[in-house]
Structure 1
């Protein structure tokens, strides 16, 4: 795959919806390096450092980040730009802290069992390609679908009356979700999926979060909202996730073809972007700026769903960032139709089609992906989150010892 980082720069500069007059904010390469070099080292060194050393490094990074944003703030021209920078810096500090805590966690490889050949192969695929595909036994897929049926009724009723927000068409708590999670953990353990994901993260992982989701063609949340384009890009909704700590899975509970919203991924695209550490952090959270109910930017941006780029005011602020820091995790909506970037991404797309029980396990933070773009019929799927279960186990073991 070509170096997408250069295509990203040219995409924003040639895209008419991102072409504005004011120059981007300037910052010295030394200030950027002061953050990026230390952060890159912290990713590698954190597991070997004591708590005081990690705290000192985090303090140095916050000082470096403050210097960068102070330079930007001195060049802001109105209160809206100043607020954009204020919210963006706070979000960067928050995400940076979460990532440093993740890197500091000690790998717990003794929990991993890689004696099974298929599990070893899946682990290699996850390390190399950031994903692997699989299929549940037919009986397990049928069991999951039967459990889900009662919860799908209200979702279908919402769709019938035009309530089409994702929260109207999904269920992420309650007895049904608890039962689905138990079955999925049982089947993923049997198939070696939990061991493969645990080997990838270095921590004992299991399914901890799950949402049952109905997708219907009436829903339009994923469609492009940037005005003035002859057609939407072929990469609509392609994105990477915010958190690096929780790999994901998508499990079909209905047969899925190219017409009813297959999950797609773009192997190698994330690596080809060659993002620097601060660019990556900004990209993961820039879309949250102006989203909080109490933010003065909420009405100013007037975003639709989480498509930040449908707001011209947001795009103006985004383009004030230096080009070396421009990245939006939901890049699929930003791509200029007919551009080399669109062609490069479209050529690498892999679509997951198949019967009920088909699944993908993947690193959502490092694999560009999308799904649920419906044309006909319906799609029923489980959105699955893996996470570290050792904290819960330690608490349970402590309680057992006390008893």
Structure 2
């Protein structure tokens, strides 16, 4: 393809910092560049504590361990999401209770969550689709009312914010008890594969480090807080190498520039496609009043699956790659025979009609506009 759907952006410092990490003689993780990244996120976005992980999936799996998800627990999440959101909980034996999407946005319909809560419900997992906030005031109020945990799936939501009823602007991932981020190569800020767990509830801070370090208190040992370390809890090898952290640091140093360019691309798409979308009965992205835009993706919602396929094929003929996104998890081959819930018509509508247009730093958006 002349214009791919995604192209990883390199700032120019990635290999410099990777070489430096190697020369420092410690590349196994939780070293110099890991600490730089942790400090950056905690200072810039107000997360109580951050731990880099090898993927967003790992961050979600850490979250399930921290809130002690077990067989019989129910977890509410949107059906229109990536499989990792559900897999992390399924692996611990939980039953997934799928919620429908909003009519104006693929995110979870917050007004339908309360009806899904039972005595077995343990957590709500809002997914900030396209980096656009869910209504966190409503979700956190429900969590407080029913004594539930909130784990934000913020895989796509770096540098995006929620504006609460109090007028306060808070970073996505800083509101729920825990949050998971992705630095996969398709995201705004990348490290190839990579992720992060944000721990906002201080009750989980100490144990999160133990789970992160294979169930040992190794981190406390290296800080001089204990005279030896050993196996003290469950855990796994969730932390990434210093090579991944060094690559990520090069990206974080340039986050302001990267974000300005991506948001500029998003605005250009949105402004130039207004008439085209109206003429073709296509829905452009809608930002709720409580959400900001981080330029993660630009999608359109077609009037039919046939229209979507036609646009895909015609763009492909011009050597432009566009892609549809999630297939609703409640209808997936793995889960459809287990799903006994109600009709999720909005989730299915996005599955059939949503189309993602190319979005990356070096993109010439006008070429896509011309083709459409």
- TM-score calculated relative to the size of structure 2: 0.27
Larger radius of gyration: 1
- TM-score calculated relative to the size of structure 1: 0.25
Relative contact order (C-alpha < 8 Å, sep 6+): which is higher? Answer: 1
